Amino acid sequence: MTKLAFLGLGVMGYPMAGHLQAAGHEVCVYNRTTAKAEAWTKEHGGTYAPTPREAAAGADFVMACVGNDDDLRSVCLGDDGAFAGMSKGAVFVDHTTVSEKVTKELYNAAHTTGLNFVDAPISGGQAGAENAQLGIMCGGDQDAYDAAEPFMNVYAKVCRRIGESGAGQLTKMSNQIAIAGLVQGLSEALHFAEKAGLDGRAVVEVISQGAAGSWQMNNRHETMLDDHFEYGFAADWMRKDLGICLEAADENGASLPVTALVDQFYKDVQKMGGGRWDTSSLFKRLRKMG
């Protein structure tokens, strides 16, 4: 039995921590809202702590899945941060989607105190977390990744080290860039089919079997046509992620015209009151436009 800590019990972290506990590990969780941590221990067992530092004390591995750069800094740094409670040689695994800048900042901070840091953002949404079918893209030192990989595999469909610190976050940016274009393309295809008087489901049944097919098409077209947008990653979070992508592109010289455009479309969704709608709500935007 390995002692683990898990920081952040949102729609992703809650089931991920549960998989670790179910695998026979001793898991101590922390969540900003204590009631969520209490509910988790009642459902899964394990323990909870009032601060990241106390949750991380004595843990061989500390996993985190929080909201953004500032949230990650808050659970890592300071007197109550996880780094203050971790033992030398322990590994911090960050599953949050954050900037490459904060990843390298925390990687360096960890190493100055004898800790290891692996950036390991995830893809697969709530269903992937609940069904232990996540894609995990990692950056960091090889030995730290090798030590953490067996634990990440508890909730992963695929887990791979891409390169040095920050490479995991850059890979996640590539993932979000691809999704943005795919969802917009699917939204436009369904919108066009509706305007042409076609049965959207019949159209997808045919075109999904050819080169147009995608995960988004297979898993989202029916909910989109039914005007249901409560099935995954929120537009608010997607805008946060696309902002990270666009900032990184400004620094490395990448041209992302489609991503920049789709980011503005999600801004329109937010103005419609759809910040918590899932990313497929780009279709609802088109329907509203007529």
88 part of the active site: no
Q: How far apart are CA 91 and CA 144, in angstroms?
A: 7
* Nearest CA-CA partner of 31 in 13, 43, 15: 13
Of 101, 4, 5, which Cα lies nearest the Cα of 52? 5
Q: Please pick, among 172, 240, 284, 288, the residue that the annotation labels catalytic.
A: 172
Structure tokens at 185: 């393309």
Q: Which residue has the tokens 């800790």?
A: 115
Query: Residue 7's closest CA among 30, 28, 27, 25?
Result: 30
Question: Do the bridges between strand 3-7 and strand 122-123 make them parallel or antiparallel, or are there none, so unpaired?
Answer: unpaired
DSSP-based helix, strand, coil % in the chain, nearest 5: 55, 15, 30
Asked whether the CA dihedral 102, 144, 3, 120 is positive or negative, the reply is positive
Radius of gyration over alpha carbons of the chain, in Å?
A: 20
Q: What are 254's two structure tokens?
A: 């990448």
Q: Which amino acids are annotated catalytic? A: 172
